Structure 1
Amino acid sequence: MPEGDTVWQTAQRLHTALAGQALTRSDLRVPRLATADLTGRAVLDVTPRGKHLLTRIEGGLTLHSHLRMEGSWQVYDSGERWRGGPTHQIRAILGNAAHTAVGYRLPVLELLCTADENQAVGHLGPDLLGPDWDPEIAAAHLLSDPSRPLGEALLDQRNLAGIGNVYKSELAFLARVTPWLPVGELPADTPARLVATAHRLLDANKNSFDRRTTTAAGRRPGDRLHVYGREGRPCLRCGTAIRKAEQGDGSRARPTYWCPGCQSGPIPSSRHTS
C-alpha cells in the first residue's frame, strides 16, 4: 500500500495536470458510476487526505479514490501512449486539452457531494502531511489503547493518517523498540518523538525526485532504508542480521522487519519469523 508521501506526490501530479481546466473527457468505469458524466466541469483541486485522494470538481462534486495495494493514477500528455496497464484495468479517465489522468486498478472510486467528504475521510486521525497535523493529538491517539502493539497502532489511520508498512518498520527501528511492543510500555518520551520523526520523514520524502522513500539518509550509497526489505542483511547500525515476520493491522497481516540487536521488546515465536 502506498505511503502518505507517495499519495501526496500523486495528488500534486494530478492537481498540476487537471486543476483550473474544464474536463473534455470523463469516463468512470465502475458500474455505479457508469452514467456519470463530468465533461465540461472544471477540476478545482486535487487534495490528499492521508492515503485518500479527493478530486474536487465544479458543481459541488468530489471524486474520491484510494489506491490500496495495487491502484495508481498516471498522468499523460495529450497524444502520449498510455503505459499504466492493460485497458481492462482502467477504472477512471479524466482529461483536458493538455493532459489525461488515468486511474488503474482503483479499488475505491466514488462520486460524492463535496459537502459529504467526511463520509469518506472523517474517521481519519491527524494527517501527517495535511494542514490539520497535530502531533499532540496523534501521540494521544497512539496511546489510547495501551495494550495494542506499536506496529498495529501506527498503521491504524484513525490514529494518524499516512503511515504505511514501510514507515511502520522504520519508525519502530528508529525508536529502538520492536513493532510488537505494546504502546503502553513505550518510554514516556517516545510517543512524542516517534510522531515527530514520522512527520519529518514523510515531509522530507514527499518531494523526493525519484519517488523512493528514504529513511537512512547519510548511510552508505544505495542504503535507503534501515530494516524494511532487508531480511538477512546486516543492520546498518550494529551488523545483526535483519529479521522478518508477519504482523496484523486489524485487516490483514503485513511483512514486518526489525533488528534483534537494536530493538528491544517482544517478537513473534520462531515459527512465524524468518
Structure 2
Amino acid sequence: MPEGDTVWFVAHRLDTALAGRVLTRSDLRVPRFATADLTGRRVLDVTPRGKHLLTRIEGGLTLHSHLRMDGAWRVYATGERPHGGPEHQIRAILGNAEFTAYGYRLPVLELLRTADEVRAVGHLGPDLLGPDWDPGEAVRRLGADPTRPLGEALLDQRNLAGIGNVYKSELAFLAGVTPWLPFGDLSPGVPERLVATAHRLLEENKERPDRRTTTTRRPTERLYVYGREGRTCLRCGGAVRKAELGDRVTYWCPGCQKGPRREP
C-alpha cells in the first residue's frame, strides 16, 4: 500500500494536469457511477488526505479514490495512448483538452458530495502532509492505548494519516526500539521525537521518487531496514531480520532495536 508521500506525489501530478481545467471526457467504470457524466465541469483541485485522493469538481462533487495495494493514476497528454496496464483495468478516465488521467485497478472509487467527504476521510487522524497536521494530537492518539505495539499504532490511520509499512519499519529503527514494544513503554520524549521524525521524512520524500531515510547517497542503502532482510545493518553490522507484525511483515535489527522480539 503506498505511503503518504507517494499519494501526495500522485495528487500533485493530478492537480497539475486537471485543476482549473474543464473536463471534456469523463468515464467512471464502476457500476454504481457508470452513468455519471462530469463533462463540462471544472476540476477545482486534487487533494491528498493521508492515503486517500479527493478530486473536487465544481457543482459540489468529489471523486474519492484509494490506491491500496495495486491501484494507480497515470497522466498522459490528451490523444496519447495510455500504457498503464490493460484497458479492462481502467476504472476511471478524467480528461481535458491538454491532459487525460487514467485510474487503473482502483479498489475504491466513489462520487460523493463535497460536503460529505467526512464519510470517506473523517475517521483519519492528523495528516502528516496536510494543513491540519497536529503533532500533539498525533501523540495523544498514538498513546490512547499504551499496551498496543508501536508498529500497529503507527499503521493505524486513525492515529496519524500517511504511514505505511516502509515508514513503520524505519521509524521503529530510528527510535531504537522493536515494533512490538508497547507504545506506553517508550521513554519520555521518544513519542514526540518519533512523530517529528515521521513528519520530516515524509516532507523530505514527497517530491522525489527515490525515497530515503538514510544520509548515504548509495542507491542500495536508501533505507535502514525495510526490504533488507539478511543484509548488513548500516549501523551495527549485524543482520537485518524480517518477521510478522499482525497481518504484515516488518523489518528490524536485533543489534540496534531494544524491546520484545519475534523470530520469523
Alignment TM-score, normalising by the size of structure 2: 0.98
SS in 2 for 1:48: strand
Matching of residue 265 in structure 1 with residue 263 in structure 2: no
- 1:53 alignment partner in structure 2: 53
> 1:188 Cα deviation (Å)?
1.0
Whether the 8 Å CA contact 2:216–2:222 is kept in 1: the answer is no
> 1:124 Cα deviation (Å)?
0.4
Give the distance between the partners of 1:99 and 1:23, measured in 2 at CA.
10
- Over the aligned positions, Cα root-mean-square deviation in angstroms equals 0.8
Whether the 8 Å CA contact 2:229–2:241 is kept in 1: the answer is yes
> 1:66 Cα deviation (Å)?
0.4
| Aligned counterpart in structure 1 of residue 225 of structure 2, from 218, 224, 227 | 227
**Structure 2 counterpart of 1:216, one-letter code:** T
Q: Which runs of 5+ in 2 are unaligned?
A: none
Calculate percent identity across the aligned residue pairs. Answer: 76
Matching of residue 102 in structure 1 with residue 122 in structure 2: no
- 1:177 alignment partner in structure 2: 177
Matching of residue 154 in structure 1 with residue 177 in structure 2: no
Whether the 8 Å CA contact 2:28–2:92 is kept in 1: the answer is yes
Give the distance between the partners of 1:112 and 1:52, measured in 2 at CA.
14
> 1:218 Cα deviation (Å)?
2.7
1:176 to 1:42, Cα distance in 2 relative to 1, 3 A = same
Give the distance between the partners of 1:217 and 1:39, measured in 2 at CA.
47
> 1:231 Cα deviation (Å)?
0.1
- 1:247 alignment partner in structure 2: 245
Aligned residue-pair number = 264
Give the distance between the partners of 2:160 and 2:3, measured in 1 at CA.
12
- 2:81 alignment partner in structure 1: 81
- 2:3 alignment partner in structure 1: 3
Whether the 8 Å CA contact 2:63–2:109 is kept in 1: the answer is yes
**Structure 2 counterpart of 1:228, one-letter code:** Y
Alignment TM-score, normalising by the size of structure 1: 0.95
Give the distance between the partners of 1:201 and 1:95, measured in 2 at CA.
33
Give the distance between the partners of 1:221 and 1:27, measured in 2 at CA.
40
SS in 1 for 2:221: coil
Q: Which runs of 5+ in 1 are unaligned?
A: none
